[in-house]
Chain A
């Protein structure tokens, strides 16, 4: 019993130490499609590389904006993004539930046409993970009297920059977007554990990270036959600045042997190590059989640039159907696979292997010069989590999210 408690104790504290290093700071950088962006794209599973012909196209495939119908601007946001992750029986016999909720305006774009050129300026929030959690467990184990955990973290990435596209004839276009990428991450973690023999442990951790970089994106779009378009886009983010600071303080007393042994520790770590981003290639194909209907499918390939990440391929597809000229509905499906390699018998914590699948639905109302869209995105995934350092023990992991999407656009 005592050794089991000790083990738990150690595991929890070591968990904190391990998650100290810069590369493990992610809120969730094991997935590339946590947020769907854009008025039409978000409700079609994020499948937009071969369409991309409006002010939201600047992000997916800048080449597509060459075919925009006119000048416009659009803004969209995730009105309500509820994410729930459950680690089954992670704390004693109780589930560890992490929830995140955010209200994020995640896209703004302005598009202007001039002769055969199109220009765009856009602001995108591709990642926003905000977590506030206060957990209190009474007697999670027979030897633990109280376990209290408080976690507050915010991890937001911003992209902003111009795009330009040019037409070559009527069937080929090329485009370029140059984004400035900025990431701000902060996490404050507090942990208190009191055992039945009077020992206790207090941990306080504060992490901060700022990343600055650029993300250029090159796109091409081609229409080989009437009613069909093919698109391709390639991008890779590169950081030119990274500043990390982590503070941890640790204090505990150990009464297990009958005498009280206190331990206190305070440490600060700084790092300027720059994260490496994968090379992202996206291909898309879209079919426009009638002005009321279109089908689209995308393939996203990510070639890992860091050790410990795998190359992955995500799939997505969607459709848009006009009930009448002023009302349209959209539907989409997508995958959001983890970029961590397949675990094997030697995998230890921290490790989370989770593949996510999603579906989206949306409705748009059109007027002569503007449109309003509402929609919903649901994702669900299951996998395994390695939570306890040095142990190959796993816990079942499920993650579910529901996002309400709201966006509007207007022609200029």
Chain B
């Protein structure tokens, strides 16, 4: 390595105490942060509706506990597509597709979707969102030429959006086995 000048050596011997303090501080910081950091890094949230914890990482394994959507849990271990989590007292395995690293947000419905859901009677309602207006009028540029060459059908889309849907019932419907 580079020859440390004589001056540095003397300074080092004199300042040894300070350097030791330097490293001691760094080490303490490291251990302090590491312990708290790794705890937070493994916090995950249940995004699935009604996630079921199992004893072992396999479909055949016994169900132990059911966690509701949005629950904050600690991720402990992972094995292939399975993840072991802990929530307070209970712990178990669930499929990683049911976990999200980010907190669970409520359902977002934009104005157009909301308007159509409210007026299922079929009455033509004033559409205030931009995209809906475009559908009705068609966007033109400054020369009056249509911007988009593609046709749109917002009426059909609105029909689709006003169909009722219920998450709990759908889950039950899905779980049916012949």
A binding-site residues for B, Cβ under 8 Å: 289-290, 292-293, 295, 301, 310-313, 315, 317, 319, 321, 331, 333, 337, 341-342, 355, 357
Contact = CB atoms under 8 A, between A and B. Distances in A.
A355 B11 contact: yes
Contacts of A315: 22
Interface in B1-17: 2, 4-8, 10-11, 15
A333 B26 contact: yes
A313 B22 CA distance: 16
Nearest to A355: B11
Contact of B33 (A317, A321, A333): A321
Interface string B45-57: 0000000000000
Given A333-B25, A337-B11, A355-B15, A311 B37 contact: no
Contact of A342 (B10, B18, B25, B30): B10
Contacts of A295: 30
B174 to A, nearest CB: 35
Given A295-B30, A333-B22, A355-B11, A342 B6 contact: yes
Most buried by A among B22, B25, B38: B22
Given A290-B41, A321-B37, A313 B8 contact: yes
25 contacts: A289-B34, A289-B37, A290-B37, A290-B38, A292-B37, A292-B40, A292-B41, A293-B37, A301-B2, A312-B8, A313-B2, A313-B4, A317-B22, A319-B26, A319-B29, A319-B30, A321-B33, A321-B37, A333-B25, A337-B8, A337-B11, A342-B6, A342-B7, A342-B10, A355-B11
Contacts of B18: 357
Contacts of A317: 22, 26
Given A289-B34, A301-B2, A355-B11, 9 more contacts: A289-B37, A290-B38, A293-B37, A295-B30, A312-B8, A313-B2, A317-B26, A319-B26, A333-B25
A290 B34 CA distance: 10
Interface of B: 2, 4-8, 10-11, 15, 18, 22, 25-26, 29-30, 33-34, 37-38, 40-41
By secondary structure, the B interface counts as helix
Contacts of A290: 37-38, 41
A310 B41 contact: no
Contacts of B4: 313
Contact of B7 (A292, A341, A357): A341
Contacts of A337: 8, 11
Nearest to B4: A313
A292 B41 CA distance: 8
Given A342-B10, A355-B11, A355-B15, A293 B33 contact: yes
B75 to A, nearest CB: 14
A333 B23 CA distance: 10
Contacts of A357: 18
A312 B15 CA distance: 15
A312 B8 CA distance: 7
A54 to B, nearest CB: 22
B94 to A, nearest CB: 23
Contacts of A331: 29
A341 B33 CA distance: 39
Contacts of A289: 34, 37
Nearest to B26: A317
A199 B7 CA distance: 45
A227 B130 CA distance: 45
Contacts of A313: 2, 4, 8
A394 B136 CA distance: 89
A198 B6 CA distance: 50
B86 to A, nearest CB: 20
Contact of A310 (B5, B26, B33, B37): B5
A311 B34 CA distance: 37
A341 B7 CA distance: 7
A311 B5 contact: yes
Contacts of B22: 315, 317, 333
B41 to A, nearest CB: 5
B26 to A, nearest CB: 6
Contacts of B15: 355
Contacts of B25: 333
Nearest to A319: B29
Contacts of B33: 293, 319, 321
Contacts of B8: 312-313, 337
Contacts of B26: 317, 319, 333
